[in-house]
Amino acid sequence: MCGIVGYVGDRPALDVVVDGLARLEYRGYDSAGVAVLAGGTIDSAKRAGKLANLRAALEERPLAEGTVGIGHTRWATHGAPTDVNAHPHLDCTGSVAVIHNGIIENFATLRRDLEERGHELLSETDTEAVAHLLEEEMPEAGGLAEAMRRVCRKLEGAFTLLAVDTADPGAVVAARRNSPLVVGRGDGENFLASDVAAFIAHTRDAVELGQDQVVELRRDSFTVTDFFGHPAAYNEYHVDWDASAAEKGGYDYFMLKEIAEQPQAVADTLLGRAGLDGTLALDEMRLSDEDLRDIDKIVIVACGTASHAGMIAKYAIEHWSRLPCEMELASEFRYRDPILDRQTLVIAISQSGETMDTLMAVRHAKEQGARLLSICNVNGSSIPRECDAVLYTHAGPEVAVASTKAFLTQLVAVYLVALYLAQVRGIKYTDEITAVISQLAAMPEKVEKVLDIVEPVREVARSLASEKCVLFLGRHVGFPVALEGALKLKELAYMHAEGFAAGELKHGPIALIEDGVPVVVVVPSPRGRSVLHNKIVSNIQEIRARGARTIVIAEEGDEAVVQYADTLIRIPDVPTLLQPLVSTVPLQVFACELATAKGHDVDQPRNLAKSVTVE
């Protein structure tokens, strides 16, 4: 939520900052703003709406030229997305400008006190209070960094803050608590951002800041302290992808590019996991085999699409490792007093590694003494840093708000974890594990094949653009796939869409079926557990008898479904548990095409943001 950029160097700061914001716009696009230090003053501009509105305003009135600047794209929390509420916010004297990601929970008290002391606050935001608090602290603190530390000690909640001060025109000062912030180290220039994507075109050398730290960024240096001014430790790393990975590469939308990248992402996530003797080697996981043998229960915590990966993980983990496994929505987890102990392994699945609900679930589990493993796509993000172990997915940067390639790589990661648990617990022989690994190794090609034959999905999607509602049915691992198909359609096409376990239909949802209602059915392989297949074929007949228009996703060679399908979408034959890797892809394409047919921007759906850093 909210994209933040800061720059100190010798290039025009405005260009660097606006370019960085363009790469971060997926984090929030309600409004955008920039501030540049120039000639002893702050020149700023901000506009409600997408970055394009700010760009237009800057063309009309270019800012003064300066080489130090900050910029922000907003996902509104306090106050509507208006010009006034857009960041940056200034203090009473106009000498300090602040941008902010997160929520300052005690802002109402801080604001009331500031107003009582005579400050005039112009916006409805929590952020503006920080600018005025800095103004108050500055005379005694003797500098922006110390003032920032003093202010942070008064703040409750989650925040990344960036500030500039006319009295120190060579610096940007930033602080973080429970919200992402990275430093980019250049040659004679340095960067700050909520995500490396903002500066990847300039440098791949990054510094990951710790919790409750303040950084003072200058052209040739950066200084990191805690909130009390003590020097603080940080972690330097090299980003292993380049700027082209974060660009559209000829596609109309990032989402289309990311769907197309799935075969490679799956292959990259599998790379180097199998040892020479056929055993799985997840060395980077940092949980010893001893620790894993000790585990007697697994709880998965995740949100949205990642929670659907978690539901599929439950099937794989219980089937392969024989450990009981539950999947919990991270936003509910800590409020119901879950039973956790040292023998519980909590697995947090998160693409961004910054989702606040999941982070809070991780912290709760840690307090209860559980062991913690994260499956994450963003190196050095908060969730893996707070877990005992991490398995990184190698999807590369996912920019479109709707998750696609990250989901498929999360599936690969959970399959690997399930097999690894089976291996260390001695539940499966090496040759059995090797057999599944080779099935997984064949998946990139199978996903590629789905992409090659997906045209009928596009056609049917376009034909449904004026429908009000689409239902999705599945059984076994096809049930979470149905939920995922419905979620994609809701978020991109703004349509009513529901996913159901096909067996639940007759317990209520079948009442929704009437003439012409489109129902997408994910059919399990007839070669696997035939009972599953037979049951869903009956379900298709039941809805068809009541007038449903059936869009059936079924394996090549499955002839039993042909007569009941108004539209038949073929997927390659794969083992039952692995089917989500291929059956999800047509549903992604379906939602993307239908939303595009309705004229929506699929990369930036309304009301959403990529990384949800508020609870």
Helix (H) or strand (E) holding 589: helix 580-597
Residue 291 makes CB contacts below 8 A (sequence gap 6+) with 371
Helix (H) or strand (E) holding 570: strand 567-571
Q: Does 351 bind ligand F6R (CB under 6 A)?
A: yes
Q: Does 304 bind ligand F6R (CB under 6 A)?
A: yes
Residue of 194, 225, 382, 403 that binds ligand F6R (CB under 6 A): 403
For the bound state, the minimum distance from the C-beta of residue 381 to ligand F6R, rounded and expressed in Å, comes to 9
Return the number of the residue (216 or 491) whose C-beta is nearest ligand F6R. Answer: 491
For 78, other C-beta atoms within 10 Å of its C-beta total 18
Q: Does 20 bind ligand F6R (CB under 6 A)?
A: no
Q: Which stretch binds ligand F6R (CB under 6 A): 35-43, 114-122, 253-261, 302-310?
A: 302-310
For the bound state, the minimum distance from the C-beta of residue 487 to ligand F6R, rounded and expressed in Å, comes to 6
Residue of 85, 194, 344, 350 that binds ligand F6R (CB under 6 A): 350
Phi and psi for 64 in degrees, rounded to 5?
A: -60, 150
DSSP assignment of 30-41 equals: SEEEEEEEETTE
Q: Does 321 bind ligand F6R (CB under 6 A)?
A: no
Order of strands, sheet of 205-208, starting from the edge strand that comes earlier in the sequence? 41-48, 31-38, 68-74, 3-8, 190-193, 182-185, 205-208, 235-238
**Known active-site residue 2:** yes
Q: Name the closest residue to ligand F6R (Cβ).
A: 304
Residue of 305, 379, 393, 584 that binds ligand F6R (CB under 6 A): 305
* CA-angle at 305, arms to 299 and 307, nearest 5°: 10
* Identity at 575, one-letter amino acid code: P
Q: Which stretch binds ligand F6R (CB under 6 A): 67-75, 127-135, 299-307, 428-436?
A: 299-307
Q: Does 306 bind ligand F6R (CB under 6 A)?
A: yes
Return the number of the residue (20 or 304) whose C-beta is nearest ligand F6R. Answer: 304
Q: Which stretch binds ligand F6R (CB under 6 A): 29-37, 190-198, 345-353, 557-565?
A: 345-353
- CB-based contact 227:58 (threshold 8 Å): no
Q: Does 203 bind ligand F6R (CB under 6 A)?
A: no
* CA-angle at 489, arms to 483 and 494, nearest 5°: 130
- CB-based contact 541:564 (threshold 8 Å): yes
Q: Does 24 bind ligand F6R (CB under 6 A)?
A: no
Encoded tokens for 181: 């912030």
Return the number of the residue (97 or 359) whose C-beta is nearest ligand F6R. Answer: 359
Q: Does 355 bind ligand F6R (CB under 6 A)?
A: yes
- CB-based contact 547:514 (threshold 8 Å): yes
Closest CA to 169 of 65, 61, 20: 65
Catalytic: which of 46, 405, 488, 610?
610
Q: Does 130 bind ligand F6R (CB under 6 A)?
A: no
**Known active-site residue 610:** yes
Number of residues that bind ligand F6R (CB under 6 A): 15
DSSP state for residue 81 in the 8-state scheme? S
For 57-73, b/e burial (b = at least 16 CB within 10 A) is beeeeebeebbbbbbbb
Report CA 173 to chain centroid distance, whole Å.
Answer: 26
* Identity at 553, one-letter amino acid code: I
Return the number of the residue (163 or 193) whose C-beta is nearest ligand F6R. Answer: 193
For the bound state, the minimum distance from the C-beta of residue 406 to ligand F6R, rounded and expressed in Å, comes to 6
For the bound state, the minimum distance from the C-beta of residue 421 to ligand F6R, rounded and expressed in Å, comes to 22
**End-to-end Cα, the chain, rounded Å:** 11
Q: Does 604 bind ligand F6R (CB under 6 A)?
A: no
Residues in the chain: 615
Q: Which stretch binds ligand F6R (CB under 6 A): 333-341, 344-352, 510-518, 558-566?
A: 344-352
DSSP assignment of 133-188 equals: HHHHHHHHH-SHHHHHHHHHTT--EEEEEEEEETTSTT-EEEEEESS--EEEE-SS
For the bound state, the minimum distance from the C-beta of residue 401 to ligand F6R, rounded and expressed in Å, comes to 6
Return the number of the residue (361 or 552) whose C-beta is nearest ligand F6R. Answer: 361
Q: Which stretch binds ligand F6R (CB under 6 A): 141-149, 234-242, 300-308, 529-537?
A: 300-308
Q: Which stretch binds ligand F6R (CB under 6 A): 98-106, 190-198, 351-359, 567-575?
A: 351-359
Q: Does 402 bind ligand F6R (CB under 6 A)?
A: yes
Q: Does 381 bind ligand F6R (CB under 6 A)?
A: no
What is the longest distance spanned by two Cα atoms in the chain?
Answer: 80
Reduced DSSP (H G I as helix, E B as strand, rest coil) percent helix, strand, coil of the chain, to 5: 40, 25, 35
Which residues are the active-site residues? Answer: 2, 610
Point out which residues bind ligand F6R (CB under 6 A): 303-306, 350-352, 355, 358, 402-403, 487, 491, 611-612
